[in-house]
A and B are shown apart, each in its own frame.
Chain A
Amino acid sequence: MTVIIKDTPINPYQDLQEYEETKLTKNNAIGASNIFIGTMRDFNEGDHVKLMSLEHYPGMTEKQLNKIIAAANQQWALIDILIIHRVGDILPNEPIVLVSAWSSHRGDAFDACRFIMENLKSKAPFWKKERLINEQERWVISNTKGYLTTKNY
């Protein structure tokens, strides 16, 4: 179970391959790997966004992400989890976050990955500031809801 916060670009497929080769819990029982990659888009609230600065609360971020991982481990049979999150200045199309869950069965991997992502969005202390094409800067006020239903995760 690994949490990485970095101010350099995430190369999701390379980072995953390296993790699988060097750090992933060695286990022939892995039957499912579920991967989520969040990237920066160049629009928000109808405006063109040219850059985003991600601030975080060092220490609390890791603490909260580890609590989310612990909660996921309570609910699903997981073999390993990797979270990588970017901070600092990010350009459109660059990855912001990677969450990967490994388990024996797809249900656990799918559901745990989603659970971790939704909890990260609502509990991990990161904040985005957008720079628009006209150089105006503004804080993102809140994240959009991840689920289209009223189901409470």
Chain B
Amino acid sequence: MSIKIRYFASLKDYIGHSEDEIIYEKALTVSEVWQQATQNKIKPQNTLVAVNMDYVSWDELVNDSDEVAFFPPVTGG
């Protein structure tokens, strides 16, 4: 199973690229997705996460083909 991961704004700068893909065998939480995709990089305070474009908590489980996005607090408007 595979998950697409996206990073935006300052988090994209912090990670150094905008997308990752991870292949996994057991069910993962978004926390575990962060750890695997970033190789345990320290998560900046207030990082937000969305799965399939909806906000979720860090213990949410991801499914095959989900898109997980990590980004800082939003500043539009």
Q: Do A and B bind each other?
A: yes
Q: Interface of A with B (CB < 8 Å)?
A: 38, 54-57, 59-60, 63-64, 85, 96-97, 117, 120-129, 139-143
The tally of CB-CB contacts under 8 A between chains A and B is 74
CB contact under 8 A between A57 and B71, given known A121-B77, A127-B8, A139-B9:
yes
Q: Which residue of A lies closest to B73 (CB)?
A: A142
Residues of B within 8 A of A59 (CB): 53
- The reply to whether A143 and B55 contact each other, CB–CB distance below 8 Å, is no
- The reply to whether A127 and B9 contact each other, CB–CB distance below 8 Å, is yes
A140 to B10 CA separation, bound complex (whole angstroms): 9
Task: List residues of B (52-71) whose CB comes within 8 Å of A's CBs.
Answer: 53-55, 69, 71
Q: How big is the B interface, by class?
A: 10 to 19
**A to B CB contacts below 8 Å, 27 in the list:** A54-B76, A57-B53, A60-B50, A63-B53, A85-B77, A97-B76, A120-B76, A120-B77, A121-B74, A121-B77, A123-B55, A125-B8, A125-B69, A125-B71, A125-B76, A126-B75, A127-B8, A127-B9, A127-B71, A128-B76, A129-B9, A139-B10, A139-B13, A139-B75, A142-B73, A143-B74, A143-B76
- The reply to whether B74 and A122 contact each other, CB–CB distance below 8 Å, is yes
Residues of B within 8 A of A97 (CB): 76-77
- The reply to whether A127 and B72 contact each other, CB–CB distance below 8 Å, is yes
Task: List residues of B (20-52) whose CB comes within 8 Å of A's CBs.
Answer: 50
Residues of A within 8 A of B72 (CB): 127, 139, 141
Residues of B within 8 A of A128 (CB): 75-76
- The reply to whether B74 and A127 contact each other, CB–CB distance below 8 Å, is yes
- The reply to whether B75 and A127 contact each other, CB–CB distance below 8 Å, is yes
A59 to B8 CA separation, bound complex (whole angstroms): 13
